[in-house]
Every structure is written in structure tokens, then in C-alpha cells.
């Protein structure tokens, strides 16, 4: 029995050491999480519908050694203009590339997700929807663990069901927004 107890003690120490090393490694890891606000803007050259919608949500990501971002997001969407009576929510993945120059962070991001929206594009309907956004972000570190960013890009969303997927209720337009991030930069 005594040999068995020694083995259990050694296993506990090994497991404890592994968890300690994982926790210690996170002190040098890069990444962040926070909240964001975005506003779609209608410009006839770049948008297909005159809808002014806003969204807000939360996100988190880790950064690989080469500056590649990988994470996730969730957000709610609502129509400010009431042109399409648009409401809903989506969630998905974030991927991108970042580069830091002192307190300045530049990044290119892609957000891809799915969710549900209710909209009136001629007649009211609820949709299983897709969402995509490509943006460029400029962030400034306010303190060692907090950054404020402005971003701009293009957003696209539409139906997966009902109707013909990706074609019946497509909305694309420019978007601008702000992110507040806490983390390690």
C-alpha cells in the first residue's frame, strides 16, 4: 500500500506542476477581450440597401507568436432607421493579423458568424443568417492592460434559411466602430 500512496503523491505533484506551468505561461501570452460597438453607414457606391443598423457585443482572442489573432465574438444587431425593422444576434469566430509599434496596434480582422435575425425586406420574416466583416483596426494602449481601437471596413449579412441561401436577403455596406480591449498587448 505504501508504494501506491507514493505513486499517488508523485502523480499529484506532476499534475500540479503542469497546471502551474500552464498558468505561468499565460503571463507571457498575448491576447485580449472586451466590448465593441459598430455602425453601418449607407453609401450608395458601397451598399445595396438604405438601412442604418448598429451592433454591439463582446469578443475575446489569443495571439500566436507571428501576430495571428484567433478567437470568438457574440453581438446583437438592431436597425436605427426602422427601414427594415431589423433585430437579431450572431456569434462566430475572429481571425486576423496584428502588428505592434510601441503603444500603437494595427490589425486586419475578419469576423465570420451565424445567428438569427428578424427583418422586413418587403414582408416580415425571421432568418437563420450569416454575418461577415472585414476591417482594419488602429488601437492605442491607454494603460499596460487596456487598449482603445477605432476600426472601419465592410460588413455583409444575409439569409441561410428560409429562402434561397445567401441570395434572398443580402445586406452589405461600410461599417465603422470602436473596441475597448483588456488584455496583454
DSSP 154-176: EEEEEEEESSSTTTSS-EEEEEE
Q: Which residues of the chain are under the pLDDT cut of 70?
A: 1-9, 11-12, 15, 18-29, 82-84, 121-122, 124, 165-168
pLDDT digits (tens, 9 = 90+) for 130-172: 999 999 999 999 998 899 999 999 998 888 888 776 666 777 8
Please give the pLDDT value at position 166: 64
Three-class secondary structure of residue 121 per DSSP: coil
The second-level CATH assignment, the architecture, of 30-184 is Beta Barrel (2.40)
End-to-end distance of the chain based on CA atoms, in angstroms? 51
Domain ranges of the chain: 30-184
**pTM value surpassing 0.85:** no
The one-character DSSP state at 26 is: G
Please give the pLDDT value at position 162: 81
14: Cβ contacts below 8 Å, ≥ 6 apart:
none
Percentages (nearest 5) of helix, strand, coil residues in the chain:
15, 65, 25
Task: Report d(CA 23, CA 33) in Å as an integer.
Answer: 18
Amino acid at each position: 500500500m505504501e508504494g501506491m500512496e507514493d505513486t499517488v503523491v508523485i502523480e499529484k505533484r506532476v499534475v500540479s506542476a503542469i497546471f502551474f506551468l500552464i498558468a505561468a505561461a499565460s503571463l507571457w501570452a498575448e491576447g485580449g477581450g472586451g466590448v465593441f460597438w459598430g455602425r453601418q453607414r449607407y453609401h450608395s457606391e458601397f451598399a445595396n440597401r438604405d438601412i442604418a443598423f448598429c451592433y454591439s457585443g463582446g469578443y475575446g482572442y489569443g495571439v500566436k507568436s507571428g501576430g495571428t489573432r484567433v478567437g470568438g465574438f457574440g453581438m446583437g444587431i438592431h436597425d436605427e432607421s426602422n427601414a427594415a425593422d431589423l433585430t437579431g444576434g450572431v456569434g462566430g469566430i475572429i481571425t486576423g493579423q496584428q502588428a505592434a509599434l510601441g503603444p500603437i496596434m494595427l490589425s486586419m480582422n475578419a469576423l465570420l458568424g451565424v445567428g438569427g435575425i428578424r427583418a422586413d425586406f418587403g414582408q416580415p420574416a425571421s432568418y437563420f443568417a450569416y454575418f461577415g466583416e472585414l476591417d482594419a483596426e488602429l488601437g492605442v494602449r491607454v494603460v499596460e492592460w487596456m487598449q482603445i481601437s477605432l476600426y472601419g471596413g465592410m460588413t455583409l449579412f444575409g439569409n441561410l434559411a428560409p429562402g434561397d441561401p445567401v441570395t434572398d436577403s443580402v445586406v452589405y455596406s461600410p461599417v465603422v466602430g470602436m473596441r475597448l480591449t483588456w488584455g496583454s498587448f
